[in-house]
Structure 1
Amino acid sequence: MRFELIRPAKKLINDVFEIKEGEEVVLTYDTLSDLQVVQITAAAAVEMGAKPVLICVPAPDGVGKAADPQLPLRTLSAALEHCDVWIEFNERWLLYSTVYEQAMKNKNLRYMCLVGMNSEMMQRTLDLDLRKLREFLKKVTERISKARKVRITTAAGTDINFENHPHRPVICDSGEANLPGIYMLPGQISWSPVFESINGKIVFDGSLVPPAGILREPVELTIENGEIKRISGGTESIIFKKWLESFKHRGMFRLAHISLGFNPGAKLTGNVLEDERVWGCSEWGIGYIGEDMIPDIKMEDQAPSHCDGVCLNSTIILDDAVVVKNGVVVDEELMNFVPK
């Protein structure tokens, strides 16, 4: 077991989840996951007096609902509907699958999506000064929540405009998971804008997962009223278009959310969990929309899967005020809270 994982594992269990004695903690993973990460997290939970359960499944071919046919749906759902904490380490994620939807019926559940977490990533993204990072993230979230209009540009060609919805939450992944809810790895801020207001171009120049991983060449999307109308670029853009079309569902061409990355340890690796937290990036989710992000809408026909694309070194403009320029925080107030 790698000793350098002890500290970040304890931070996850103690500082993030605040696990209590007697709590039942389910750790799910698959045959592609990093077993050391799973085991040392379980050990940290035992040290706190919790009762961990480790559940491994064969890695399915797809993610989200596309993984359903290869998952033990009844067994997994039963375990997750009755536990206190669910930490997902699956490489092929259960997030947005039928298992996930069943688990969310557990109103006492604290869930965190740590899909594809490996040993090196655990050190980079969790062995941090979480208190300072939380303070910064909450300040940025406050500014976004007050903004009506947002524009994002990049040197690679992204230029996208949209309006914020007054009744949709701006979710701050600050590393606090001590109350029931859905959580992600610390270092990201996410929200679903007014979909019909999203117009312009998005150019992914970091990664696109699935189906491409780290991009060798940019993939350009033309967006009209929140939907992808055109995909252009090289070979990877063709692969991406065919992947979206393979689901034969219009929802796979719909933007789901925008996210901003602010984890000081994250780097581009091809693992979307880390990629979308690279400092100063903007990331767009496509397809399935998490219902916690759109409390004003009852989704009747969800897309069967989800993917995420990363735009590096973004410029973020909130109501005509530039707060981040080319990936660097330039707002004077926010600069005082940037973790060193």
Structure 2
Amino acid sequence: MNALMTGTLEYLRHPLVANVTKGMKVLVVTDTAHDPRVWQAIMSILSELGADATLALFDPRPADYYDPPQPVCEAMKTVDLNILIASTGMLHSHANSAAMDAGVPVICMDGGMTLEMFQSGAVTENQKEMALRQYYVATNVFGRAAKMCRVTSKYGCDFSYSVEGRIFIPNPPSDDFVPYKIQNVSKVQNRKSNLLRFLYPNGEFNVPAVEGTGNGKLVIDLCMHQIGRLHSPIELTVENGRITRIEGGADAHFLRNYLAEYGDENAYLCPAEASVGINSKAQIRGVQREDKNILGSMHFGLGTNVDVGGTILSNIHMDGVLLEPTLYVDGEKRIEDGRFLVPVDRAL
């Protein structure tokens, strides 16, 4: 790994400048497997902004969405802001959920993003244009009354699931829209618990599918949590919302063993989410944090989905990305091979 800190820090600064004020107590949560230049840059920027910043550095967790050490879990509930930049995903961890329930917002940049990934690609997208695109994906691709979705791909995917009552339509950006600002997405999803967060890089329209409705063959072809860039597609056979078979090459073998070791019964529930990428600048990195935002891609989650509008709670949450899916909503083709067939920048 390159030990030198080179290139612009402009894009890394944006979410910090938008959300951090002088004297704010900020906890930076990271581990020894993550690119250290990222937390060093963040700590430097926080110091410049006058924040009272603390670094929590620990051994990497064994799996995505496992909690950090207990003292860090407790500290996350007592600060003004948490910044997650661990090598494993911690957004859906119990520790972060407890912190948000306590009213502590989070900026999530975890999952193995290197410093170079904060200098190009998804982070360069215009935030207001993307917020508008999110609104039109919600209304034009789906619509509040959407009921059934079917996804196919050139790799043999043929997967159906219900979204009835699960299309949460955000407000379009107003004239006073503030880019990079932490939002309470619980208001959009009509949830009682706090969901105070900003994901970065960002660029997805979240859809928590109705639990128990997934059926067919779901083929993940680009990347997946904990695995990274796939060498061969992973074929998941899903029956009534539960994975019954995992087939493919070495990556499928890894996933079977991974779920057996780190998962629980709910880790096999699928899809926990079925979301659409809306970031026109996102690139293929082999890192799920960016890849799932690629414009026209879709990603499907296993396990926990309580923080995206569902009801499942699990030890883990894993997203797998389809690069060029074809999506049918109530029988109407809305995405074909990763290309939107309806406008996502204006009303129909």
Shorter-chain TM range is: 0.7 to 0.9
Partner of 1:5: 8
Deviation of 1:225 (Å)? 1.3
Distance verdict in 2 for CA 1:113–1:142, change over 3 Å: farther
Distance verdict in 2 for CA 1:85–1:145, change over 3 Å: farther
How many Å separate the matches in 2 of 1:248 and 1:24?
34
Structure 1 position 58 matched with structure 2 position 59: yes
How many Å separate the matches in 1 of 2:269 and 2:316?
11
Cα displacement string for residues 239-285 of structure 1 (whole angstroms, at most 9, x for unaligned residues): 32222223473212112211212222322222211121122211111
Partner of 1:261: 277
How many Å separate the matches in 2 of 1:137 and 1:228?
29
Q: Secondary structure at the match of 1:56?
A: strand
Selected match of 1:103 from 99, 102, 110: 99
Deviation of 1:115 (Å)? 2.8
TM-score by length of 2: 0.83
Partner of 1:177: 182
How many Å separate the matches in 1 of 2:265 and 2:78?
34
Checking the alignment, whether the CA contact within 8 Å between 1:317 and 1:323 is kept in structure 2 is yes
Partner of 1:304: 315
Structure 1 position 130 matched with structure 2 position 127: yes
1:162-241 equivalences under 5 Å are 162-166=161-165, 169=168, 175-179=180-184, 181-185=196-200, 186-210=202-226, 212-241=227-256
Deviation of 1:125 (Å)? 2.0
Q: Which runs of 5+ in 2 are unaligned?
A: 172-178, 185-194
Deviation of 1:228 (Å)? 0.8
How many Å separate the matches in 2 of 1:224 and 1:118?
38
Task: Kindly report the root-mean-square deviation, in angstroms, between the aligned alpha carbons of the 2 structures.
Answer: 2.6
Runs of 4+ in 1 over 6 A off after TM superposition: none
Q: Secondary structure at the match of 2:131?
A: helix
Deviation of 1:111 (Å)? 4.1
TM-score by length of 1: 0.84
Deviation of 1:202 (Å)? 0.7
Code of the residue aligned with 2:279 in structure 1: it is N
Distance verdict in 2 for CA 1:248–1:24, change over 3 Å: closer
Partner of 2:136: 139
Partner of 1:251: 266
Checking the alignment, whether the CA contact within 8 Å between 2:143 and 2:167 is kept in structure 1 is no
Which has the larger helix fraction?
A: 1
Q: Which runs of 5+ in 1 are unaligned?
A: none
Checking the alignment, whether the CA contact within 8 Å between 2:125 and 2:279 is kept in structure 1 is no
Checking the alignment, whether the CA contact within 8 Å between 1:5 and 1:37 is kept in structure 2 is no
Partner of 2:257: 242
